[in-house]
Structure 1
Amino acid sequence: MLTVGVDLAADAARTALARVRWTPGGARVEGVVVGVDDAAILDAVPEAAKTGIDCPFGWPDLFADFIAAHRTGHVPPQQDDPQWRRPLVNRVTDLVVREQTKLVPLSVAADRIAHPALRCAPLLAELSRRGTDVRRDGTGAVVEVYPAASLRRWNLTHRGYKRAANAARLADLVDALQAAAPWLDLAAAEPLCRTSDDAFDAVIAALTARAATLNQTTTPTSAQHPAALTEGWIALPTGPLAALTQ
């Protein structure tokens, strides 16, 4: 089995893609590339059993409704209390992640993560046009992932390893991942994972995609499912790293 992980940025320069090949009892990283354009992503997704993409798949439904109402001049009066804005800027899945992990996903409606999401939306649309199942609830060929939350679920360092200033912590995190998952062979990708947090996150995205294929990630309840189909759903691992080798 092959899983792919994509750490999607607003531009190709900071976008990374990892391929992980799974065999009985283990896995090997077949390659990680940083500087990935849309064409490479569109080619990689159909090759994999599942692709984990670190990017919101949609916007909050209430936010979309608000923007539509604003365009036509039909926004109802609101109270001075700013709390009314909170449901507009958080997706259902964002609230679930916050509740279950104590992490706060960036708001696709009110933060810079919107820029990668604007790139992701036409990618998902093009994959769909090519016949790939891209249901945003993660049941198709792609699944939304959040590497920091996956790392936390797997009892690994989940913050403080980003950017060049934290290179030493990133290298320590690679060591910790190898100790926790001795069955994972980073192969030729190891040096890049030690120096690029984008490359490392792409590998974590591919591991989370594997968890999703094994039904070892959170899924929406029946009440949450309609929102998951439009807003997206972050798959959180529900089992240990070792369970990925089954």
Structure 2
Amino acid sequence: MAVSPQRKDYRAAEQAWRARGLNVRSSTWRQPRGGAPFTAAALKLIAAAGMPPCWPWVRSGSGVLAEAFPMAQLKQWGLPYQGYAGSAELRGEILESLRTRLDLGRWRQACLDSPDALDAVLAALAALAVADRTAPFPEDCDEEGWIAVAP
């Protein structure tokens, strides 16, 4: 069956965040800034690295891989979650709030200068929540995984 390039299929995790007002991309979207190329690249890298299965399918052991979504993390904490990629001022506000969670030290400026660096920090915080088992997820998400957020 041919898949339309305009088709947007959403997993339960993506639908849940869309219902909360986030503009979540479908992992099957194949147009510019689509999820399919990123998903394929990530899966290829995971396979090449011999990484273990993804959370929440595996909930213990070392090296568990989790999917994080920085915008969802910011929304979870009540911080600006839209427009921060183009605004150093918003990134500064986010970083100020993060001071209660971690000391970025010399990396603070990199996060202020680059939304990608800030996203990496947010994803790492979500990964830590998975590692210490505080990341919430519904029990019925085992069919397709879940997006990790720190409480």
Gaps of 5+ in 1: 1-68, 72-84, 240-246
* 2-structure distance, mates of 1:236, 1:217: 6
1:182-221 alignment to 2 at 5 Å? 183-221=101-139
Seen in structure 2, the aligned counterparts of structure 1 residues 190 and 154 have a Cα distance that, compared at 3 Å, is: same
8 Å Cα contact 1:171/1:195 also seen in 2: no
TM-score, with length taken from structure 1? 0.51
1:71-220 alignment to 2 at 5 Å? 89-99=9-19, 101-110=20-29, 111=31, 112-128=34-50, 132-135=51-54, 137=56, 139=58, 141-163=64-86, 166-178=87-99, 181=100, 183-220=101-138
* 2-structure distance, mates of 1:148, 1:113: 15
Gaps of 5+ in 2: none
Q: Secondary structure, in 3 states, of the residue corresponding to 1:170?
A: helix
8 Å Cα contact 2:57/2:142 also seen in 1: no
Deviations 1:46-70 (A, max 9, x none): xxxxxxxxxxxxxxxxxxxxxxx34
Root-mean-square deviation (CA, aligned residues, Å) is: 2.4
* Structure 1 residue 136 displacement after superposition: 5.4
Deviations 1:72-103 (A, max 9, x none): xxxxxxxxxxxxx66xx11122112233x332
Seen in structure 2, the aligned counterparts of structure 1 residues 115 and 162 have a Cα distance that, compared at 3 Å, is: same
Deviations 1:194-232 (A, max 9, x none): 10000011001111111112222232423x31233xxxx
In the alignment of these two chains, the number of paired residues is 142
> Would you tell me which structure has more strand in proportion to its own residues?
1
* 2-structure distance, mates of 1:209, 1:173: 18
Greater relative contact order (CA < 8 Å, ≥ 6 in sequence):
1
